[in-house]
Chain A
Amino acid sequence: MAVIGAFCVSVNKEICINARMPGKCATCAEVCPHNVYALDVRTGEMNVQNFNTCVGCRICAEFCPANAIRINPAEPEYITRYPWTFATVEEIHYKAQTGEYLLRGFGTHGQTPNFDMITVVPSQIASTAPLDKYREECDLEVVIGEDTCDQPIALKAPFVWPAMSFGALSKEAKMALAIGAAETGIATNTGEGGLVEEEAWLARGYIDKEMTHKRWEPGGYLIIQWSTGRWGVSADYLNSGDAVEVKIGQGAKPGMGGHLLGAKVTEDVSRVRGVPVGSDALSPCRYYDVQTLDDIKHMVAFLRDVTNYKVPILFKLGPSRPYADVSACIEAGADAISIDGMVGGTGCSPDIVTQGVGIPTIACIPPAVQALKDHGVHRKVKLIALGGMRHGLDAFKAMAMGADAAGFASAAEIAMGCRVCYACQKGNCPYGITSQKPEMRARLDPVETGHRLANFIHACTEEVKILTMLSGHRSIKELSTEDLRAMEFNTAALTGLKMAGYERPLPMWEALSQTGDGNGRNGKHDN
């Protein structure tokens, strides 16, 4: 479960500054989020005191001025000792000593079904000829709400930054995401922690509150999240963005609400959320003001009313029962639905929930798409795939499976500099991404980091363009499951994709298409 005990920490004493001059350097102890290193204040000597807690993020190695640290995975133990690995033993000891379960940040680790066992089918002579990525155009635009509201969103590339709250992230990280969205014409999302004032104009590409000086073209969009904790929510908040997203759940902890531990509830966060400084802000797992699906419909109605029928209404789902949940969102009046697979990230969650709850992203998409098709709204109500998206290749596969766009959240944090230490909840992020401490936040320049994020989106956009065109399409709207093949049985079974070599879906999927599954779902794969 936990990653503790999975890495070997070694320090080359011949070049370590502290080993040669005790007291002169303590960088590794300062930056390590897990207290692997300890400084003996009496002698000034640094020691690897707690090597079992190393999670392999290698922040210490990156910061070490002498390049003296090496972190190597201790993978064989997972073969020789499984299931009683050192990590499991340590976890049990921890619980026995403290009576507490493990909390951590980021998403699911270890092997879960993913996009890697799906391959893209290129065009050759029998199918439509491939198109030339270098000299021909490709339509990558995604419009949300074009038939339902006065001001639809037109994403210039099929991506969004999914919801990550102020509190979970620093103000500077939120500003960087807004700038990255503005530079690329995509959408950023407030998350459930209220509005960072600057997001409202930075996301649209402006450097001033009055929005008179535009710096970043083409300008992006700001999605306002409405969630179960309702932190910082008012009529003005709802009207400060380009869309409203109703959060039902998220991939990392479906069935639970947002967790922001007291260590990150500073004066600023307290002011926006209305939670006492240092108190844990734990969002409810459900809406207290919703008891039925009709209530959700009424909620959508008054959200449209309060926003003067101008902006799209989006839903965000955790990975539960995609067909039924997506159907409910459609009935409630959604203009777009994000579905977040189990690998989706978080600022804080019980470890067992992140590791053991929810449906993998690749298994969420087919039933979600089928629900849209059965309601006659596929490609009208937009589907946004979230949960462990790493690059344009993952996004392309999600879109070929029927999604209209994809979201990068964990990848966005990594693009900002994150090394995946799983300790977001502690508030000590040395890159200033998930910390609220001024000294950490000062390390993150919103403009420079925003540009890194824009670079990442530009690269992923080009990747999607390459794959779309080599598959013979001029638009991402033409993508279909025919552009993909599963490369092993599990993936074919989870997705219903044709099996490479066999060139058909597995028989159980073909049987499903004949009989349906008794849940309003006929299992058809419309290519």
Chain B
Amino acid sequence: MKIIDAKNKDLRAVNTELKASVNGVAVKVKNVSHLHGLAAGMKHGEVVIQGDAGDYVGVLNAGAVIRVTKNAARYVADNMTSGTVIIEGDADYGTGQYCYGGTVVVRGNSGDFTATMNKGATIIVCGDVGDEVGTYMLKGDLIVLGNAGEHFANYLIRGNVYIGGQWKSIGNNTKIEPLTDEDKAKLRAYFETFQIVAAPAGFRKIAAASEKPFYH
């Protein structure tokens, strides 16, 4: 595994070296918490970020597998289209916003506005999430194993939201649906793939009440 030490380096230097290094080899990057936009727009490769990551880690990810060994700051995997981003610790505000595809897994908790405007990604949070999570989601799956804050899944348009815990308040344009066998199989497959200890049976599913809630 190639190792890049990002200490005292700027975003351009580190990302350029990273993109040049991932051809067939996994790359470990350390001392990166001062960088915002690390591993931006990568199309392939495996990247391990040792320690904490700054804002916008894995932004516009287009196929790479990125793992952060500790916590990540805000906007994890922003606008990802494919690939996988795994945060072993907690993630701050706005994880997995604007994603069209790929998978985000946060082993710990994730902040407010997680999965906002998700358009097709799978976003799994093993702990709790903050307020306004899943706002204006248009497609994809959001799975929260813990509890959610205010306005959970607010103005959901399409896609599936699953929650194992409780919410403080549920958002507008939502309805609770029973978990189907298909939902359970899907959740089971995600849990198995990402080695998450949980049982689908205890989850609730939230779906959109209408695809056109604004103007009639």
Partners in one complex: yes
Which A residues have a C-beta under 8 Å from some C-beta of B?
103, 229-230, 233-236, 238, 261-262, 274-276, 278-280, 282, 284, 288-289, 291, 295, 298-299, 301-302, 304-306, 309
B187 to chain A, nearest CB (A): 23
A212 to B43, CA, bound (A): 26
A288 & B40 in contact (Cβ 8 Å cutoff): no
Chain B: residues with Cβ within 8 Å of the partner, total of 38
A235: shortest Cβ distance to chain B, in Å?
Answer: 4
Q: Select which of A103, A230, A301 is within 8 A of B215 by beta carbon.
A: A103
Please tell me if the beta carbons of A276 and B158 are within 8 angstroms of each other in the complex: yes
Among residues of B, the one whose C-beta sits closest to the C-beta of A309 is B12
* Among A229, A238, A261, A304, contact of B60 (Cβ-Cβ < 8 Å): A238
Q: Are A302 and B56 in contact (CB under 8 A)?
A: yes
Asked if residues B119 and A274 are in contact (CB atoms below 8 Å), the reply is yes
Q: How far is it, in angstroms, between the C-alpha of A304 and the C-alpha of B214 when the chains are bound?
A: 36
Q: Name 27 A/B residue pairs within 8 A (Cβ), A-sorted.
A: A233-B79, A234-B100, A235-B62, A236-B62, A261-B215, A262-B212, A262-B215, A276-B158, A276-B211, A278-B212, A282-B214, A288-B113, A289-B56, A289-B74, A289-B75, A289-B94, A291-B74, A295-B55, A298-B36, A298-B37, A301-B37, A302-B41, A304-B12, A305-B12, A305-B15, A305-B37, A306-B59
Bound form: Cα–Cα A233–B62 in Å:
11
Per-residue CB proximity of B84-124 to A under 8 Å, as 1/0?
Answer: 00000000011001101000000000000100110110000
Question: Given B15, B41, B113, B138, which contacts A274 in the complex, CB threshold below 8 Å?
Answer: B138
Given the complex, which residues of A lie within 8 Å of B120, measured CB to CB?
Answer: 274
Task: Report which of B12, B97, B138, B157 forms a contact with A288, defined as CB distance below 8 A.
Answer: B97
Once bound together, how far apart are the Cα atoms of A289 and B112, in whole Å?
11
A238-B60 Cα distance, complex, nearest whole Å: 10
How far does the alpha carbon of A289 sit from the alpha carbon of B117 in the complex, in Å?
11
In the complex, how many angstroms separate the beta carbon of B57 from the nearest chain A beta carbon?
10
Find out whether the CB atom of A229 lies under 8 angstroms from the CB atom of B117. Answer: yes
The residue in chain B whose Cβ has the minimal distance to the Cβ of A230 is B98
Let me know if B209 is at the binding interface, CB within 8 A. Answer: no
Residue-wise interface mask of B (157-181) relative to A, using a CB-CB cutoff of 8 A (1 in contact, 0 not): 1100000000000000000000000
Q: CA separation between A243 and B43, bound complex, in Å?
A: 21
Q: Are B117 and A288 in contact (CB under 8 A)?
A: yes
Check A291 against B93 for contact (C-beta < 8 Å).
yes
Known: A229-B117, A302-B59. A275 touches B157 (CB 8 A): yes
Residues of chain B with a CB closer than 8 A to A306's CB: 40-41, 59-60
Closest chain-A Cβ to B20's Cβ sits at a distance in Å of 12
Q: Which residues of B contact A289 (CB under 8 A)?
A: 56, 74-75, 78-79, 94, 97-98
B: residues with CB less than 8 A from A are 11-12, 15, 36-37, 40-41, 43, 55-56, 59-60, 62, 74-75, 78-79, 81, 93-94, 97-98, 100, 113, 116-117, 119-120, 135-136, 138-139, 157-158, 211-212, 214-215
Assembly CA distance A234 to B136 (angstroms): 19
A279 with B211: CB separation less than 8 A: yes
Option from B40, B81, B113, B116 in Cβ contact (under 8 Å) with A234: B81
Expressed in whole angstroms, the minimum distance between the Cβ of B69 and any Cβ of chain A is: 22
Bound CA span A233–B139, Å: 15
Contacts of B97 in A (CB 8 A): 288-289
- Which residues of B sit under 8 angstroms from A235, Cβ to Cβ? 41, 43, 60, 62, 81
The chain B residue sitting closest to A288, CB to CB, is B116
Given known A-B contacts A276-B158, A301-B11, A234 and B60 have beta carbons under 8 A apart: yes
CA distance A295 to B97 in the complex (A): 15
Q: Is the CB of A288 within 8 A of B215?
A: no
User: Whole-angstrom distance between the alpha carbons of A295 and B36 in the complex?
Assistant: 9
CB proximity of B160 to chain A, nearest CB, Å: 14
CB distance from B149 to the nearest CB of A (A): 16
* A276 smallest CB distance to B (angstroms): 5
A279 in contact with B212 (CB, 8 Å): yes
CA distance A233 to B211 in the complex (A): 22
B100 and A274 contact, CB distance less than 8 A? yes
Interface core residue of A261, A289, A299 (most chain B CB under 10 Å): A289
Q: Which residue of B lies closest to A307 (CB)?
A: B41
Contacts of A295 in B (CB 8 A): 55, 74-75
Starting from the known contacts A284-B117, A289-B94, A302-B11, 17 additional A-B residue pairs (CB-CB under 8 Å) come to A230-B79, A234-B100, A235-B81, A262-B215, A274-B119, A275-B138, A275-B157, A279-B158, A280-B214, A289-B74, A289-B98, A291-B74, A298-B56, A301-B37, A302-B36, A302-B37, A306-B41
- In the complex the two chains form, is A276's CB within 8 Å of B119's CB? no
Instruction: Tell me which residues across on chain A come within 8 A of B79, comparing CB atoms.
Output: 230, 233-234, 289
Instruction: For A304, list chain B residues within 8 Å (CB).
Output: 12
- Between A103, A282, A306, the greatest number of chain B beta carbons within 10 A of the residue's beta carbon is seen for A306
Minimum CB–CB distance for A53 against chain B, Å? 19
A229 to B212, CA, bound (A): 17
